[in-house]
Amino acid sequence: MGSGHECGPLPVIALADCNNFYVSCERVFRPSLEKRPVIVLSNNDGCAVARSNEAKAIGIPMGAPYHQIRKLCEGNGVVVLSSNYELYGDMSSRVVSVLARFAPELEVYSIDESFLDLTGVPSPLRLSTRMRDQVKQWTGIPISVGLGSTKTLAKAANRLAKKQGIGCQLVAKDDREALERIAIEDVWGIGRRLSVRLRRIGLLNAWQFARAPSPSIRAIGGVTLERTQRELGGISCLEMEEISPPRKNTCSSRSFGKPVMELEELEEAVANYAIRATRKVRSEGSLASGLQVFIMTNRFREDQPQYSNSRVLGLDEPTDDPIRIVQNAKKMLRDMYRSGYAYKKAGVILLDLVSSASRQGLLFEEHGSPRRQDFVNAVEEAASRYGGGGAFWGGQGIGKQWRMRREMRTPRYTTHWDDLPLVR
DNA sequence: TCTGGGGTCCTAGGACCC
DNA sequence: TCTGGGGTCCTAGGACCC
């Protein structure tokens, strides 16, 4: 230790990333979608958030608003699906459980990506290939695996693996040829803004970026960008995080299916979002120390008057009480509501979540009488067991004119009994 | 007519204090 | 001729990710 030489084996990080994940999930249950152009739309059937390779080849860009590509889709026989997050969430955990058999240390990074520590494995490429076959065989989901000595190099390797249609790829920190093929905007951590500024000073790809003088990098993107640069140079700055740190905030928000003018309807939507957000924190055993409510008009409509606002409230004591949160959220909404605007979106954010186990022990809480707690728990229990139809709070309303559109959703094959595929 | 949702981290600048 | 300086805390906004 401390000699400046390598001690122990060179670190090897793998990034296993599902190919076109949402589309692949749909294909598992509808094999007829294989080899056809398929896209999955975001909430509200708004944008294309997943595209099969065939759909990419047609020229459908990532994130394209559906109304802009509708003609293109119709003209090319593209299968268009609404998103089905219950299905994707369930498929995701299946994939993770297979991956976990291949490495002692695994970090679930997103719904379709996991990092694995393969340090010390004799032949990481061969292991990755076996892993990829296993995932495909057991879950039906195709994945690509990138290998590198840091997370950022593994990301870059994964990108090349996907681009070239090969399953697994390793990129070493001094592999000039490979790193030159990664455009600057495709480096993990460099988005649209930063890539423009980096291109302006002549840095066009990952190789050039990695070798640029670090003070100029820091001047452009601060310590975060400098970390990315070091990672590309093989110096690890982003550690594996096996257990994800507890969430700090949670948000529930939706665009409305139709613009909303009236306060009453907004109140209904906000009550629903508040309850959804509260259920999330309850399920994680957390309490909210504050909440934020926001509303906004459609920012794309330049012909219409715009208004957006938000209110933040600190709670005197952390809570997971839906009644209290809904009451406060509605009060905050009424406070900032202005009539005469066509509202497009609203949301509720629960802030500064703390663990309910470490609840700071007020034995005599004014609002938290045992009977009230029991009542709240009973309603929430019924709601979670039987879904929204089991029980709901008064303020949630029953009209739901503002509900989002989801007109092309496939059945929830794996999570709802009613939707199980029938075998004949 | 139609443009997603849910997160994190960092930084600059203001308020406040001594 | 020329307003003190330095620390902490908080927040809004900007950047990124999938």
A373-420: pLDDT as tens digits: 777 777 777 776 665 555 566 667 655 666 666 667 777 777 776 676
Strand C contact nucleotides, protein CB < 7 Å: 11-12, 14-18
**What nucleotide is nearest A191 when CA is compared to C1'?**
C16
**What nucleotide is nearest A253 when CA is compared to C1'?**
B5
**What nucleotide is nearest A68 when CA is compared to C1'?**
B2
Among A188, A195, A175, which residue's Cα sits nearest to residue A231?
A: A188
Q: Is A260 helix (H, G, I), strand (E, B) or coil?
A: strand
A254 touches strand C (CB under 7 A): no
Q: Which residue shows structure tokens 């045992």?
A: A370
Considering Cα of A270, then A272, then A273, then A279, what sign does the dihedral take? positive
Strand B contact nucleotides, protein CB < 7 Å: 1-12
The Å distance, CA of A359 to C1' of B16, is 30
CA-to-CA distance for A55 and A37, rounded, in angstroms?
4
At residue A316, the pLDDT reads 85
CA A196 vs CA A183, A193, A206, A218: distances in Å: 12, 5, 14, 15
At residue A325, the pLDDT reads 96
Q: Which residue shows structure tokens 């007109």?
A: A407
CA-to-CA distance for A82 and A421, rounded, in angstroms?
18
A52 touches strand C (CB under 7 A): no
Residues 308-367 of A with CB under 7 A from strand C: 312, 314
Q: Which residues of chain A fall short of a pLDDT of 70?
A: 1-6, 358-370, 384-395, 397-407, 417-418, 420-424
A49 touches strand B (CB under 7 A): yes
At residue A364, the pLDDT reads 44
Residues A153/A231, Cβ–Cβ less than 8 Å = yes
At residue A5, the pLDDT reads 53
Residues A371/A47, Cβ–Cβ less than 8 Å = no
The Å distance, CA of A220 to C1' of C15, is 11
The Å distance, CA of A356 to C1' of C10, is 25
Give the contacts of A96 (CB within 8 A, at least 6 positions apart): A106, A108, A114
**Do strands A113-117 and A106-110 pair parallel, antiparallel, or not at all (unpaired)?**
antiparallel
Helix (H), strand (E) at residue A16: strand A13-18
A112 touches strand C (CB under 7 A): yes
CA-to-CA distance for A41 and A23, rounded, in angstroms?
10
CA-to-CA distance for A69 and A243, rounded, in angstroms?
40
At residue A2, the pLDDT reads 42
User: Which residue gives the smallest C-alpha to C1' distance to C18?
Assistant: A110
Residues A142/A18, Cβ–Cβ less than 8 Å = yes
CA-to-CA distance for A393 and A383, rounded, in angstroms?
10
At residue A105, the pLDDT reads 95
A25 touches strand B (CB under 7 A): no
In A233-367, where does DSSP find H-type helix? 263-283, 322-336
The Å distance, CA of A47 to C1' of B1, is 15
The Å distance, CA of A193 to C1' of C13, is 15
